[in-house]
Amino acid sequence: MIASTSGPDPMPASQEKPVTQHPSRTPIFAGLTLVALVLAVQGVVLHTMGQPIVCTCGTIRVWVGDVLGPENSQQLTDWYTFSHVIHGMIFYGLGRLVLPRAPLLVGLALALGLEAAWEIAENSPVVIDRYRAQALAQGYSGDSVVNSLSDTLAMVVGFVLARRLPVRATVGLALAFEILTASVVRDNLTLNVIQLVHPIEAIGAWQSGLARAPG
């Protein structure tokens, strides 16, 4: 009998090793890349517009709590960071409502586009002058690039929180942020929008009380 010279039978298709997806193609990597690209463009545009990269005081701080001080909107985070976290929650909710079947990455891209567009508009001369008419922003000269990029990252945090948390928890957290900032610095996202779009004298008078308060 002549022995067979053929090699072993090929592995059945059902037993073939699955092809491992390259890490660079994962949604997390794509999301991080998208965030980095938007931040890079946003930073370049703001710097071109004349905004300082960091606080002109020469010091970088993680947090500044004096809403009337010269370093407000210049350091990494401040009381208005909470508003940008709420931005992310709102953008996630709107994306799910308007484009319920869209991939999460599309929703993130739209949220980043909206936030970056606002950050750039917020530092335009027209909006800066509009802010200066408010009691709490009379010395406002725009954001440092570092502060603006941190605001956009805070929006991403809010977007992720809204993705992970139940709706009630997200709404509750947003309301807690609004109540906290209103009670401490007499401002929050809601009041900021109202005073920017259609200033109300009573709100302005209440906020002016913080400016006159000792300490």
Q: Could you tell me if residue 76 is inside a domain?
A: yes
What is the mean pLDDT of the segment spanning 189-200? Answer: 96
List, for residues 21-57, the tens digit of each pLDDT value: 555 468 899 999 999 999 999 999 999 999 999 999 9
Tokens of 142: 């725009």
Q: Is the pLDDT score of 97 beyond 90?
A: yes
Q: Is the pLDDT score of 105 beyond 50?
A: yes
CA atoms within a 13 Å half-sphere pointing along the CA-CB vector of 206 = 13
pLDDT at position 12 is 54
pTM: 0.87
The residue that leads in pLDDT, 201 or 20, is: 201
Distance, in Å, from the CA atom of 175 to the CA atom of 202, rounded to the nearest integer, reads 22
What is the mean pLDDT of the segment spanning 95-123? Answer: 97
Taking the CA atoms of 32, 33, 34 and 38 in sequence, report the sign of the dihedral they define: positive
Q: Could you tell me if residue 215 is inside a domain?
A: no
Q: Could you tell me if residue 10 is inside a domain?
A: no
pLDDT band at residue 1, thresholds of 50, 70 and 90? Answer: very low
Residue 110: give the domain boundaries: 68-206
Q: Could you tell me if residue 119 is inside a domain?
A: yes
pLDDT band at residue 9, thresholds of 50, 70 and 90? Answer: low
The residue with tokens 């335009």 is: 124
Q: Could you tell me if residue 17 is inside a domain?
A: no
List, for residues 56-79, the tens digit of each pLDDT value: 999 999 999 999 999 999 999 999
Q: Could you tell me if residue 20 is inside a domain?
A: no
> Percent of the chain at pLDDT above 70?
86
> Percent of the chain at pLDDT above 90?
81
Helix pair angle (27-48, 145-164), 10° resolution? 150
Q: Could you tell me if residue 173 is inside a domain?
A: yes
pLDDT band at residue 81, thresholds of 50, 70 and 90? Answer: very high
Q: Could you tell me if residue 32 is inside a domain?
A: no
Q: Looking at the 3D structure of the chain, how many domains does it have?
A: 1
